[in-house]
Amino acid sequence: MAPSSVWKMWGSEVEVRVTEWAALADAAALTEAAMTQVKAVCDLGSGDAEIHRLNQAQGTPVRVSTELGGLIRAALWAARMTGGAVTPVSIETRDPIGAVPIAPCFHDVRVDGDTVFAPFGTFLDLTATAKAGTAHRVARRAADDLECGVLVRVDDVVATWGHCPIGGWQVETGVARRAGGADRVEVRAGSAMASARAPAVSSDGPDPGVDCVTVIADDGLWAYAAAMAAVGRGVAALRWLTENDLAARVAYRHGSVRTTDAWLHLPPHGHAA
């Protein structure tokens, strides 16, 4: 088993695995530093995070740091790729003084160099996409700097870089990990995996049919966004994943599991265990 370190930060469980024992402490330190830097910029729970200045601007263009600008661009890219199913924009439905409905969307947010414009009523939350993107970036940086194989997991987003350990990177899906199960997938080096689970069905709400979606992609942000978007599509999840040529597995509430053709055609070192 590859050497590993697990800890909690920013409301998430973070795990780092390496192929060389001597690299574990440095890989964990690099990961923690990267997460801390991103958290300082966009953590909504931190009063001095830079994102608050943008959210308080309400229709006024704001110059932002390179870090925040990059996180916003990444989140808007995920929104475009998923048709808005995964979006950084939260909406305030009424203005502060009256009853004028406001419905901005991600298309209304513009980034020009280091200046960001978000219309009145827009509230940006980059938390999920920032974590997913950071997992992939830090895995690559740590593997390159330390010259070994590295896996970084932030909750249900897993990213790998460098060479694999003997037997490959065996990773439990998010659902299996929380349930104490043994559902493992082998994630090939240089790729990412994300799992998303449908919310609990309310007594008066429709049953989406889908229980969990797992996606393997070349990028942690895309794997996360695709899994979340597919879950939101319910019974149409598999069709959307297939149309986007994604390697994915869909578990349904009634117990059946289906996969896309791309999942079936993954290389031998990226198959379901």
Considering the chain, what percentage of its residues have pLDDT values greater than 70? 87
Model confidence pLDDT, tens digit, residues 157-178: 999 999 999 888 999 876 555 5
Residue 249, burial from CB neighbour count under 10 angstroms (0-12, 13-18, 19+): buried
pLDDT of residue 137: 96
Q: In this model, does residue 190 exceed pLDDT 60?
A: yes
pLDDT of residue 2: 84
Q: Give the model's confidence band at 272: pLDDT under 50 very low, under 70 low, under 90 confident, else very high.
A: very low
Two structure tokens written together for 224 = 């996360």
pLDDT of residue 13: 97
pLDDT of residue 209: 84
Q: In this model, does residue 14 exceed pLDDT 70?
A: yes
> pTM for the complete prediction?
0.90
CATH number of the 45-124 domain: 1.10.3980.10
Model confidence pLDDT, tens digit, residues 66-77: 999 999 999 999
What one-letter code names the amino acid at 148? C
Q: In this model, does residue 269 exceed pLDDT 50?
A: no
Model confidence pLDDT, tens digit, residues 213-238: 999 999 999 999 999 999 999 989 99
Residues 14, 82, 256, 168: what is their CA dihedral angle, to the nearest 10 degrees? Answer: -40
Mean pLDDT of all residues belonging to the chain:
89
Q: Give the model's confidence band at 267: pLDDT under 50 very low, under 70 low, under 90 confident, else very high.
A: low
Considering the chain, tell me which residue range(s) the CATH 1.10.3980.10 domain(s) occupy. 45-124
pLDDT of residue 92: 55
**Right CATH number for 4-21+149-270 from 3.10.520.10, 3.90.1150.10, 3.40.50.150, 3.40.605.10?**
3.10.520.10
The mean per-residue pLDDT over the stretch 193-212 comes to 78
pLDDT of residue 94: 47
Considering the chain, tell me which residue range(s) the CATH 3.10.520.10 domain(s) occupy. 4-21+149-270
